[in-house]
Structure 1
Amino acid sequence: MSLQIWKLLLKSICQKSRCPKHLPAGRQVSKRDSNKKEKPFKRKWFYQCFGISKQAFYKREKSKEIKAINDTKIITMVKEYRKKVGARTGGKKLYKELKNRLIEQEIKIGRDKFFDVLRLHNSLVPKLKNYITTTDSNHLFRKYKNLIQNKVPNRPEQLWVSDITYIKTENGHNYLAIVTDAYSKKNMGYKLDDNMKASLCVDALKMALNNRKYPSKKLIHHSDRGMQYCCPEYTQFAEDNVIIMSMTEQYDPYENAIAERVNRTLKYEYGLKNCIKNTTIAQKTAKQAVYIYNNLRTHFSLDLKKPEQVHNNPNIKYKSYRKNNVNLT
């Protein structure tokens, strides 16, 4: 009950009551002022009715005011962080990233209470809907075996995963090809254009090769069975650069889960799911999204570290949420 309602209720009781029998008797008339009348009602009687003291009542109202101020500060911090890093940054990551700032603002709050504040202000991240597939595996090109099933990498640039996702523009669909390091989650290379030709994926792979930090190490390239990845133009370019090809064997998205997740993250957290005006603006948006993803966004599988940080420090161990995995050799 708010302070205003309490005051209105108190005023009403004061106007209608004349020291009820169940309340303490009124103050006696002062001997020094025989003309002074007895008070019809005392405020402390009102607090006694509810079993609280006047000090406790106002202390509770004060704590509500402080909580409201702190909630406003928290939501402001959340909005600022999401604007900088990504609109779909979840509560756990937000709490870890903002914890020091909360301490600086003298806001003491645990993770569960932090989630309660987000929920109260409709700031929790909603679930995503299904998206359109871009894989066309109905072709006669060679389909490679899945070399990484139930295996996880143990160093950067041991396994790259690739996929294509569509980007809506006012001129029709554009397509974004991405090459991601499965160990560090770093986007090694990408290409956005208005077609799905094999050259789209080749250009993304070229950028990834130019960004290699450990070029002498063995490298496996994993993708779906799409025509762009199976065609000779792509496979020959990969083999010329001493890259071992691996592909999904079923239509299970878990066989290329990392690449699927990266596409989803870039689209839904960094504005690529919206209808963009043209290809040029889409390319600029993609470039900005990749930079934020690599340098600012934290990952649970990286112990809430950033891809660029992990890629440059291979001592950080890879975390997989799937059971019965073995290290990739």
Structure 2
Amino acid sequence: MKYALIAEYAGLFAIALMCRVLGVSRSGFYRWLDRDESDRKKRRNKMESLIKDTYEEFEAAYGAPRITKELNELGYPCSLNYVAQIMAEQGIKARNGKGFKYSKNSLTVLNVSDNLLWRDFSASKPNEKWTTDITYIWVKDKWLYLATVMDLFSRRIVGWSLDETMTEALVKDAIQMAFSRRKATPGLIVHSDRGTQYRAQGYVDYLRSNGCRLSMSRKGNCWDNAPMESFFSRLKVELVYAKNYSSIEEAKSGIFAYIEIFYNRKRRHSANDDMSPIAFEEKAAMAA
């Protein structure tokens, strides 16, 4: 289960960090990752993951020679030419002077935005600050992925999307639902982590075309998106773990009911003076 969790969040946090936090080895994770592939393909995939992870861990400072040395010391025999070939194919290049430019495939810096919230999760009105994230839900024998968008004014979930793959389309569907429901004005802050889905060019362009200001958590810092982490924790304790869904359709129906009927309309929230998100918004509108 720990390895599956690391694989789920591989695009969001550094694998080395997650392995340390969960108390497992990187070598063990990569052995688990390639367990069902052909020998040649799984070696290639494993080395690509190792190289990308090492490149991220050392913040683009290491080129092929140092990455090769690092991997050999970790117990993954590889040649300089082999590592250099993979790096060239992936567009990975070390930062080595003023002439350095990240390619369009750079892993850690493409479309990374500043943290505009800095853990200030208060908002004076609706559609001032939104936050979004992805969580995983185990259903029988596969993962189901849930992307949500929260308005920090009331902690209301204003957009969400479910899918069996964790892609750009997943997060874009959630944000599109939010825009279809809310009259957002230019200047709206939309905060997320640095996951590849949230750095995808199509997603970034969509937000900017709607006048949004993008904000991102610091690398590997889940507390920079604490309200969403808190929501996911409640969802899993109050619904997912209790129900132990056996089918995708059953899970989808349950999550719909939890978000739209229970959480938004009924569940009292301490940040809302113990009112539900919708009741809090209605009271604010009457007072305006």
Q: TM class, shorter-chain normalised?
A: 0.5 to 0.7
Counterpart position of 2:276:
306
Q: Which runs of 5+ in 1 are unaligned?
A: 1-130, 318-329
Code of the residue aligned with 2:273 in structure 1: it is D
Q: 1:188 aligns with which of 148, 155, 158?
A: 158
Q: How many angstroms apart in 1 are the aligned matches of 2:158 and 2:275? A: 17
Give the length in aligned residue pairs.
Answer: 186
Counterpart position of 2:222:
253
Q: 1:157 aligns with which of 127, 141, 147?
A: 127
Q: How many angstroms apart in 2 are the aligned matches of 1:273 and 1:143? A: 37
Give the drift of 1:220: 0.5
Q: What does 1:208-227 correspond to in 2, within 5 Å?
A: 208-212=178-182, 214-216=183-185, 218-227=187-196
Helix, strand or coil at the partner of 2:178: helix
Counterpart position of 1:143:
112
Q: Which has the higher contact order (CA 8 A, sep 6+)?
A: 1
- The C-alpha deviation readout for 1:94-135, integer Å capped at 9, x for no partner, is xxxxxxxxxxxxxxxxxxxxxxxxxxxxxxxxxxxxx94644
Give the drift of 1:274: 4.8
- The C-alpha deviation readout for 1:243-299, integer Å capped at 9, x for no partner, is 110000142322000111111111211236754222222111110010210000001
- The C-alpha deviation readout for 1:22-56, integer Å capped at 9, x for no partner, is xxxxxxxxxxxxxxxxxxxxxxxxxxxxxxxxxxx
Percent sequence identity over aligned pairs: 27
Helix, strand or coil at the partner of 1:312: helix
Counterpart position of 1:170:
140
Give the drift of 1:233: 1.7
Is the alpha carbon distance of 1:273 and 1:177 closer, same or farther for their aligned partners in structure 2, counting shifts above 3 Å?
farther
Is the alpha carbon distance of 1:268 and 1:316 closer, same or farther for their aligned partners in structure 2, counting shifts above 3 Å?
farther
Q: How many angstroms apart in 2 are the aligned matches of 1:222 and 1:272? A: 27
Q: How many angstroms apart in 2 are the aligned matches of 1:142 and 1:216? A: 22
Code of the residue aligned with 1:220 in structure 2: it is I
Q: Which runs of 5+ in 2 are unaligned?
A: 13-55, 57-106
Using the size of structure 1 for normalisation, the TM-score is: 0.53
Counterpart position of 1:207:
177
CA contact (8 A) 1:192 1:286 kept: no
Is the alpha carbon distance of 1:245 and 1:167 closer, same or farther for their aligned partners in structure 2, counting shifts above 3 Å?
same
Counterpart position of 2:252:
283
Q: What does 1:6-155 correspond to in 2, within 5 Å?
A: 132=5, 134-135=8-9, 136-137=11-12, 139-140=107-108, 141-151=110-120, 152-155=122-125
Helix, strand or coil at the partner of 2:283: coil
Q: Which has the higher helix share?
A: 2
Q: How many angstroms apart in 2 are the aligned matches of 1:256 and 1:316? A: 30
Is the alpha carbon distance of 1:179 and 1:316 closer, same or farther for their aligned partners in structure 2, counting shifts above 3 Å?
farther
Counterpart position of 1:231:
200
Is the alpha carbon distance of 1:183 and 1:301 closer, same or farther for their aligned partners in structure 2, counting shifts above 3 Å?
same
Helix, strand or coil at the partner of 2:136: strand
CA contact (8 A) 2:148 2:161 kept: yes
Helix, strand or coil at the partner of 1:270: helix
Helix, strand or coil at the partner of 1:267: helix
Helix, strand or coil at the partner of 2:264: helix
CA contact (8 A) 2:137 2:240 kept: no
Give the drift of 1:162: 0.6
Counterpart position of 2:237:
268
Is the alpha carbon distance of 1:190 and 1:299 closer, same or farther for their aligned partners in structure 2, counting shifts above 3 Å?
same
Counterpart position of 2:100:
none
Q: How many angstroms apart in 2 are the aligned matches of 1:308 and 1:260? A: 20
Code of the residue aligned with 2:160 in structure 1: it is Y
Is the alpha carbon distance of 1:202 and 1:261 closer, same or farther for their aligned partners in structure 2, counting shifts above 3 Å?
same
Using the size of structure 2 for normalisation, the TM-score is: 0.60
Code of the residue aligned with 2:210 in structure 1: it is N
